[in-house]
Amino acid sequence: MNFSKIYALGLRHLYLIMNSFPRILDLIYWPTVQIFLWGFISKFFTLNSEYYNNTVGVILTAAILYDFLFRASISFNMMFLEEIWSRNFTNLFIAPIRIREIIAALTLTAILRTLIGLVPAVIIAIPLFGVSVLSLGIPLIFLLISLYLFGITLGLLVTSGLLRYGPSFENIAWASLFFLAPLGCIYYPIEILPDLLQIIAKGLPLVHIFEEMRNILMTGSVSYLNIFKSISISIIYFIFGVIVFYISYFGAKKRGTLINMGE
């Protein structure tokens, strides 16, 4: 790994953000709207639901964590799409940068995009709804790591599709997370799902992450086994995502699609 090349590619995306105030505004706008929407829903449930009445902010915390996953994945996809939209693909792939360095650069830069979007929204939630994700304590770090790895994995799978099918795969990029959300048990316990879907859902890290989040907020206890499960599953998916990305890259070279990739 050459870190100066990873830095160079990260800098490309940092400049892109810094050069455009509307782009920064766009990054902040959607998470903030989400927080407002789920904040009011959360408040309503807190006042009217027996299940949630002792755990102010379970839904809002779930919304914040889900948005973290969503932003991580979309950030990864967006940075890859930027290269396609700007017709910079060929320049990037003939530069002496390895594929693993491209993946590393996108993964590390996605954190920045995610945080620019989410930090203001998280701060707003504290005075407005009296909810802070920091109340999850130290386990929050592990839950975020697991979510981030899974978000990047989804980004890798979507970008693999972009390499394989070209820009027409773009719509899938936006839809990818909504497809998995029902199985992620973000806002409800896994028992709500039919038995068969429960088996599938347990194969995703999301269930373990959000179940553990609810467990911490509602009982005050921490199950490190659940956290370990979620991180382990996320790592397995991440490795799978990297392999799929490499297969797609070599497939694209074989089909000659890298040379004319553009809008």
Partner 1 sequence: MFIQIKDLSKNYNNYLAVNKINFNIEENKTVGLLGPNGCGKTTTIGMILGLVTPSNGKIIIENKDISKMNRDQILNRFNFASPYVELPKKLTVKQNLEIYGRLYGIKNLNKRIDEISLDLDIKNFFDRKTGELSSGQKNRVSLAKSLINKPEILLLDEPTASLDPDIGDFIRSYIQDYKSKNKVTILLASHNMNEVERLCDSVIMMKKGKIIDRGTCETLITKHGRNNLEETFLKLARSKDEF
- What residues line the site for partner 1 (CB under 8 A)? 2, 4-5, 7-9, 11-12, 15-16, 19-20, 82-83, 86-91, 93-98, 250, 253-256, 258-260
What is the distance between the alpha carbons of residues 56 and 136, in angstroms, rounded to a whole number?
Answer: 13
Closest to partner 1 by CB, 89 or 210 = 89
User: What tokens were used for 255?
Assistant: 């089909």
Residue 162's closest CA among 94, 251, 75?
251
Give the max Cα distance, the chain: 60
> Do the Cβ atoms of 261 and 249 come closer than 8 Å?
no
Q: Closest distance between partner 1 and the C-beta of residue 125, in Å?
A: 31
Specify the residue, 53 or 98, whose C-beta has the smaller distance to partner 1.
Answer: 98
14 vs 236 by CB, closer to partner 1: 14
Residue 244's Cα: distance from chain center in Å? 18
Cα–Cα distance between 35 and 41 in angstroms, integer?
10
Q: How far apart are CA 177 and CA 44, in angstroms?
A: 26
Six-digit token string for 137: 């304590």
- In the DSSP assignment, the letter for residue 193 is S
Whether 185 and 192 have beta carbons less than 8 Å apart is answered as yes
Q: Choose between 94 and 119: whose C-beta lies nearer to partner 1.
A: 94
Of the pair 86, 132, the CB lying nearest partner 1 is at: 86
- SS3 state at 256: coil
Residue (9 or 217) nearer to partner 1, CB: 9
Count of positions (residues) in the chain: 263
Determine contact, residues 209/125, Cβ cutoff 8 Å. Answer: no
Q: CB-wise, 49 or 260, nearer to partner 1?
A: 260
**Contacting residues for 118 by C-beta, under 8 A, at least 6 apart:** 31, 64, 67, 68, 71
CA distance 136 to 140: 5
